[in-house]
């Protein structure tokens, strides 16, 4: 396994995503990631392109990350202002926080955009094909636009350092703009067949990805630099 495509294509049976009140089992998670990738492809995202994604702990942000990386694109979480990206995925009321180059695609989730030229995640992604063709890129493809060192292979290698198992519920309580949050809070749980939790005010997990206090008994600080970087 060297790419995030390999991970999504062969997710452990116990892998899940929970964002109360929404839940995605292994099949739903995999199909929605594939649908998101197909949707972004139709919006002009391709290998080496950049997709800007809101730093929002919501399922749409996770699926935007997975869908973009399935295409070999780079993801930049939390960008604002002028951004050199092919697409921007964010809550609809935040789409104007970013200005894309001519031809850039705005994708809103939550409320349907008033502008017909802006896509609506819930409507447009859900209607996509859940099948996805094999990819041609390797683990050397860059996955996070933050730094070229964050390739698919590096994210997977760093994710293997965590001792999660299928009984764990990993609560993401830190910023997705921090690469360590993506590793510890997204890639590692999926790789281990754990549950990725995007908690509301009531939900708790068995381990938190956080830079501060959390209700979970175990925690991971995502700002600690990965050992291989």
| Count of the separate structural domains present in the chain | 1
Per the domain annotation, does 116 fall within a domain? yes
Helix (H) or strand (E) holding 18: strand 16-19
Residue 224 has a pLDDT of 75
**For residues 132 and 38, is the Cβ–Cβ distance under 8 A?**
yes
**Per-residue pLDDT tens digits for 110-141:** 999 999 999 999 999 988 988 898 899 999 99
Per the domain annotation, does 227 fall within a domain?
no
Copy the structure tokens of residue 64.
């935007």
In a domain, 225, yes or no: no
pLDDT of residue 227 exceeding 90: no
DSSP strand pairing (16-19 vs 22-24): antiparallel
Residue 124: CATH number of its domain: 3.40.50.12780
* 217: CB partners within 8 A, 6+ apart: 206, 207
How confident is the model over 65-99, as pLDDT tens digits?
999 999 999 999 998 999 999 999 999 999 999 99
Helices (H), 43-167: 59-70, 121-126, 152-159
Strands 207-209 and 81-82: unpaired
Mean per-residue pLDDT, 131-159: 94
pTM: 0.96
Is 188 a member of any domain? yes
- Could you list the residue range(s) of the whole structural domain that residue 97 is in? 4-220
Task: Report residue 88 as tokens.
Answer: 């921007």
List of residues 6+ apart from 203 with CB closer than 8 A: 18, 20, 171, 197
CB 89 within 8 A of CB 76: no
Q: Is residue 229 part of a domain?
A: no
Structural domain contains residue 119? yes
Instruction: Answer yes or no: is 228 within a domain.
Output: no
Q: At what angle do helices 59-70 and 26-42 cross, to 10 degrees?
A: 60
Could you tell me if residue 86 is inside a domain? yes
């Amino acid at each position: 396994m060297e790419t995030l495509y390999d991970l999504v294509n062969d997710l452990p049976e116990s892998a899940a995503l929970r964002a109360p009140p929404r839940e995605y089992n292994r099949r739903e998670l995999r199909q929605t990631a594939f649908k998101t990738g197909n949707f972004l492809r139709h919006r002009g995202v391709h290998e080496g392109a950049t997709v800007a994604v809101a730093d929002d702990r919501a399922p749409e942000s996770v699926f935007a990350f997975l869908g973009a990386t399935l295409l070999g694109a780079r993801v930049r979480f939390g960008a604002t202002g002028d951004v050199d990206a092919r697409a921007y995925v964010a809550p609809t009321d935040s789409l104007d926080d970013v200005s894309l180059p001519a031809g850039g695609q705005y994708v809103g989730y939550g409320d349907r955009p008033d502008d017909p030229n802006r896509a609506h995640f819930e409507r447009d992604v859900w209607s996509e094909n859940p099948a996805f063709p094999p990819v041609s890129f390797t683990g050397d493809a860059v996955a996070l636009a933050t730094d070229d060192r964050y390739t698919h292979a590096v994210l997977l290698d760093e994710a293997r350092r965590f001792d999660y198992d299928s009984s764990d519920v990993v609560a993401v309580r830190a910023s997705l703009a921090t690469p360590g949050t993506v590793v510890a809070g997204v890639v590692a749980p999926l790789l281990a067949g754990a549950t990725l939790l995007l908690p509301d005010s009531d939900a708790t997990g068995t381990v938190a990805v956080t830079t501060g206090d959390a209700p979970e008994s175990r925690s991971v600080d995502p700002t600690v630099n990965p050992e291989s970087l």
